Amino acid sequence: MKPSVLLRHVNGVSTALKCTHPPCKGRLFRPVASKLFSTTQHQRATESIAASPIDFDSFQSTQLSRDILRKVRVVPASPSYFTGKPDFTDNLLSLQALLRKYQTLPVVQPGHAPRIAWKTHAQYKVSVSEPVKAAKYGKIVQLLHRLNHIHPSLVPEEVLEALQLYKRDVNPYDNVAVLQTVDPYGRARGVGRRKTSTATVWLVEGEGEVLINGKSLSQAFGRIHDRESAIWALKATKRIGRYNVWALVRGGGITGQAEALTLAVAKALMVHEPALKPALRRAGCVTRDPRIVERKKPGKLKARKMPAWVKR
Amino acid sequence: MPPPTCLRCLPIRPAPSPRSVLLCHIALPPAQTASFSATTNLSAAVAKKRPNSHTGPPKRGVKALNIKKTQRIKSGRPPAPGERKALRKRIVLSNTNALEVQGMPDLSDKNVTDASLVCRVVGIPGLVVDSLRAVEAFKPTQGWGLFRRPAALVRKETLQLGRYIREVETAEDKKTIRRVVVGERGTKDLTIGHTEYGPLFNTNPTQYVQKTYTANLLSQISKANKAVLSKLQLFQQHDLPIPIQSNISLDRLADLGARDPDVAYPIFQALWAELTAPSTKGAVRPPILFTLDGINQIMRNSAYLSTDVKSIHAHDLALVRHFINALSGAQALPNGGIVLAATCESGKPPSSALELAVAQSEARMAGAEEVPQPHPYKAMDQRVLDSMRDVEVLRLKGLDKDEARGIMEYYAASGMLRERVDEGLVAEKWTLAGGGVVGELERGSVRMRI
């Protein structure tokens, strides 16, 4: 009799024990009932070939439990134990089984399912602690995508629970911008940022008066270029004499504050007149300029400046 | 900063901004022959690049790289002493390249209270220009040299000053109007310590006289008021260090003081006594306009030190004392007059007492019940507060849209603004000028834009 080693995960600890049963060559863990076109769920190895699980806590004495322990055979909880990536394989197979079970349920139109940010490849690898290839993870994402498209009114709890495991802690798509409206006093608020400056602007119908931190435009900015930047949204749409601007600006320098005001005034103007968005985009007022001061790197004196080159 | 000479050589059309998406509408002034035209340049065809023998790399052996420092051209003649200062401070009042504005009325004593002139630009007559130049009323930082002749916009406040002049002239009880003009940014020499000073003995507290400044002041008074002073004669007896004829005309008296700084102050005192003597049948004295620009400089300690090495308060300087007496009403002007002071906003020294005095005056004028009080824990200059006790404030805000339109039409008629002056342009320039501040409006419309 050739002893063969079978492993079973007992309480998370794998134990190797010798077995006295005659070995089954080749088709060890093939479930007996599995056929090519079977609709039955893939049965776990424990259910097909192993004995039923023993509850050690129910025994009266530890000696008795030790005796029993010598006679049992440990088998893995999942056949995927023998793959290189058991948890990944289990996940993939369970999702495929779910899909096979519910593939006849009606689906929404492509792109109309709730927008969810699935875990990134790196985050998934951290959660399973296995070196899963990106393409392999992509297969899981495809399955998630398909399962997500099941009609929301008919989606089973099982599917929702399974999908929850693959969602990020915070769904970034839930962060929807609040639609601003003109308030009862006729004011529209817009916020703009540039470098480290933040500007908040309230735009109201008026004669073209501008107050920035309580000062007039000429007192706030000495350069005409900066004054024009601050009200560029109004200048580009030829509405300088139609609105009054009341602004608060903090942080940064002169040009940073002026450019922050550009964006803020544009946003406030779009609340009053949403149809101006294409014109403001062409004027360059809509995109938030993402440029910031580059950080200093090790080995360099500043972000890019290298120390003096020495021959040796 | 470019030297003033370059202003004449500048092209009239402002440099186009790279971000400009607006079209420039060129305003053609009505039927005038301009002394220059940009039409030929604008409509000329683009010149073709002719291939010449110098295209391509230079021949072998020819030195093409020249990385020597550019040598400054050293002119043979160094400037004479005072020439650079004169160039820096010179006032240009006329630009022959600018167009003459047809139909522009002149400001005169007859139309000084004419309400139909509001929002229009009026020319300043030649004699008045000479007087203003003599008293240094034109500043080099202002844009007088961009137009054909000096002109000014008539605002509501201008008419108000005209009314003051009328009141003073026609009032029977010889009224004196005392005002401080306050406004946004656009006498320094008296108090910054740049002119010689000396104590006046037998005065308590010690007053200080600046004789060179007094001499200069007398010269300006003489030049600016020659037409009036030459008709007035000395009527009182004065104890002066130099002999003078008994019926000398007042402008010649002032010239005597201008020539010799040592006798300048006594002559100034004599002149002042003559002008402030009550009019009699034989000696008619006119009302006086006494003005001071930059009152912030005199409402604090001056930069001078006494013999005890303590700061001399500006009000202890004799000339400043004269003005303050007139402003506060301590010295009455028996023949009537206007005492006008103006604050300065650019580079102003801090004077919390002046700010408080202005705030108090404005509150009183507005009829507010609560007048701002001095800060209980900060020392306030009591002398300043006392001098400004009954003085009214005339606050100059920015122009309103109609006045801005008036002055921009004048710029366009002079050929200095080459865009069509419509509601949109006026609104834009008005807003960019921080609500119609005149200096900023001129800078944004007519000067180089930076």
What is the per-residue DSSP string for A198-266? Answer: EEEEEEEESSS-EEETTEEHHHH-SSHHHHHHHTHHHHHTT-GGGEEEEEEEESS-HHHHHHHHHHHHH
Closest CA to B36 of B15, B8, B5: B8
Written out in words, the top-level CATH class of the domain with range A188-282 is alpha beta
Interchain contact B148–A (C-beta under 8 A): no
User: Can you give the residue ranges of every domain in chain B?
Assistant: 174-395
Interchain contact B432–A (C-beta under 8 A): yes
Q: Do A224 and B449 touch (CB under 8 A)?
A: yes
Which chain B residues touch A238 with a CB distance below 8 Å?
424
pLDDT of amino acid B64: 82
* Euclidean distance between CA atoms B30 and B51, whole angstroms: 45
Q: Do A236 and B21 touch (CB under 8 A)?
A: yes
Q: Do A241 and B184 touch (CB under 8 A)?
A: no
Interchain contact B400–A (C-beta under 8 A): no
- The ipTM assigned to this model is 0.78
pLDDT of amino acid B249: 94
Interchain contact B244–A (C-beta under 8 A): no
Choose among A210, A217, A238: nearest Cβ to B424.
Answer: A238
Check pLDDT > 50 for residue A285. yes
Closest CA to A24 of A47, A44, A50: A50
Q: Any idea which of A36-50, A137-151, B41-55, B223-237 has the lowest mean pLDDT?
A: A36-50
Note the residue count of chain B: 450
Check pLDDT > 60 for residue B23. no
Q: Do A208 and B430 touch (CB under 8 A)?
A: yes
User: Can you give the residue ranges of every domain in chain A?
Assistant: 4-77, 86-174, 188-282
- Chain A residues with CB within 8 Å of chain B CB: 207-210, 216-219, 223-225, 227-228, 231, 235-236, 238, 240-241, 283
Work out the minimum CA distance from A203 to partner chain B, whole angstroms: 15
Check pLDDT > 90 for residue B58. no
Beta bridge partners of B179: B340, B392
Mutate to test the interface with A, among B423, B431, B446 (most CBs of A within 10 A): B431
Mutate to test the interface with A, among B432, B443, B447 (most CBs of A within 10 A): B432
Which chain B residues touch A279 with a CB distance below 8 Å?
none
Beta bridge partners of B233: B249
Choose among B428, B434, B449: nearest Cβ to A240.
Answer: B428
**pLDDT tens-digit series, residues B343-372:** 988 878 889 999 999 999 999 999 989 999
Q: How confident is the model at residue A17 (pLDDT cuts 50, 70, 90)?
A: very low
**pLDDT tens-digit series, residues B300-324:** 999 999 999 999 999 999 999 999 9
pLDDT of amino acid A4: 42
Which chain A residues touch B21 with a CB distance below 8 Å?
236, 283
Q: Do B424 and A224 touch (CB under 8 A)?
A: no
- How many other CB atoms sit within 10 Å of the CB of residue A142? 12
Q: Do B431 and A216 touch (CB under 8 A)?
A: no
Interchain contact B437–A (C-beta under 8 A): yes
Check pLDDT > 60 for residue A2. no
DSSP string for B303-335: EEE-TTS-EEEGGGBHHHHHHHHHHHTSS--TT
A9 or A188: which leads in pLDDT:
A188
